Structure 1
Amino acid sequence: MTLRPGWIEDAPELARAIGQWGVVKNLSRAPWPYTLGHAEAFLGAPHAPTEALLILAPDMSGDRIIGGIGLRPNEHDRWELGYWLIPEARGNGYAVEAARGLIDHAREVLRLPEIEAGYAVDNIASARVLDRLGFRPTGERLTTACMARGEPVETVRMRYAVPLASSPAPARIAA
């Protein structure tokens, strides 16, 4: 599995991957139907280095897009994890592996104290991924806009306390 930023050349494959109802219905900011134009606009927009990464997995013809993941500040100035996978890639540990990579980055580079995430109440698979990663419910249930569904969706909020990276041992000075 590889995580990398999306390139404009990825637009046709991204549109095919995310443009499935089983994917887009669980994303807050993706429209339905999701078109090539949407993929081109998304890939052409500026993103922070951790915000819009593609998840690629090898297949017979090379690497293919199986999902996306990002870590970005949300509207409450807290860092939020979001991800999606195509249906046929689910259940293989890709979401957990990709998220662990971003969590490691959050700990070692960004030095974040915590990360938030949310899932639609009807997306039990996402709840399981977040639980496996160590996210815990905050007790909050929010109504979140969902462009694809065209209506608000009840979401459960989760939080992960990021263990800080251990400091390296002080250097010894030879006498």
Structure 2
Amino acid sequence: MITVTTWHLEQTSAEDLRPAPAPAGLDLRLVLADRIGPEFARFLYTAVGGPWHWTDRLPWTYREWHDWLAQDGLETWVAWVSGSPAGYIQLEPRPEGEVEVIYFGLLPGFIGRGLGGHLLSHGTARAWDLADRHPAREATRRVTVHTCSLDGPAALRGYESRGFRRFRTETAEQQAAPTPGPWPGAGPYTT
């Protein structure tokens, strides 16, 4: 068993966001994957989350991925560097004007290049204006994100640097498990 700490963070105003500029010297594009399919969504989930124990959606069927992606207002923004996917941020609207940053991160080979802060800034700004793109949605009143001690070592600091504040901390015991990879043994510090 291992002890896992989970931090719940929020912004309650668009003015809370402290943006990070795009890193210089990269051919970077942030693109809304407007018609993302289960295959690409699962690829991003495993390639980004594999080193950090993202396993809750690994058993999902194609239909479960499809239905989740089809929900109104869900947005996936993909960072592309020189034509390669480098990371993503996924926004999921919740009731009462809340938008959750449900998934966010970089593929291992792109960590440490200054992309994360900029991608998080972009996605958080999009969360604040989600109702502008989805008129059936109510205006955003709160943006939330959750991270834990199994995530990347800079995750909590990165969220707080962008203006998120902790509103709850939980600690729980869970079964230790190997990271699934993008393939077994893959991680941000090996090649």
| TM-score bracket for this pair, using the shorter chain length | 0.5 to 0.7
CA distance in 2, matches of 1:142, 1:73: 26
Deviations 1:130-157 (A, max 9, x none): 01111111132265999x879xxxxxxx
TM-score, normalised by the number of residues in structure 1: 0.57
- Equivalent residue letter for 1:134: G
The count of residues paired between Structure 1 and Structure 2 equals 138
Label 1:143 to 1:132 Cα distance change in 2 as closer, same or farther (>3 A): same
Are 2:111 and 1:90 aligned? yes
Counterparts of 1:28-43 in structure 2 under 5 Å?
A: 29-31=56-58, 42=65
CA-CA distance at 1:109 after TM superposition: 4.7
**Which consecutive aligned stretches of 4+ in structure 1 deviate over 6 angstroms post-superposition?**
none
- Equivalent residue letter for 1:79: V
Label 1:149 to 1:93 Cα distance change in 2 as closer, same or farther (>3 A): same
Are 2:115 and 1:117 aligned? no
Picking from 63, 69, 86, the partner of 2:89 is: 69
CA distance in 1, matches of 2:56, 2:108: 19
**Sequence identity (%):** 12
TM-score, normalised by the number of residues in structure 2: 0.53
Are 2:83 and 1:57 aligned? no
- Equivalent residue letter for 1:99: L
Unaligned runs of 5+ in 2: 1-28, 132-138, 180-191
What is the root-mean-square deviation of aligned Cα atoms in Å? Answer: 3.9
Unaligned runs of 5+ in 1: 151-175
2:13 aligned residue: none
CA-CA distance at 1:52 after TM superposition: 4.2
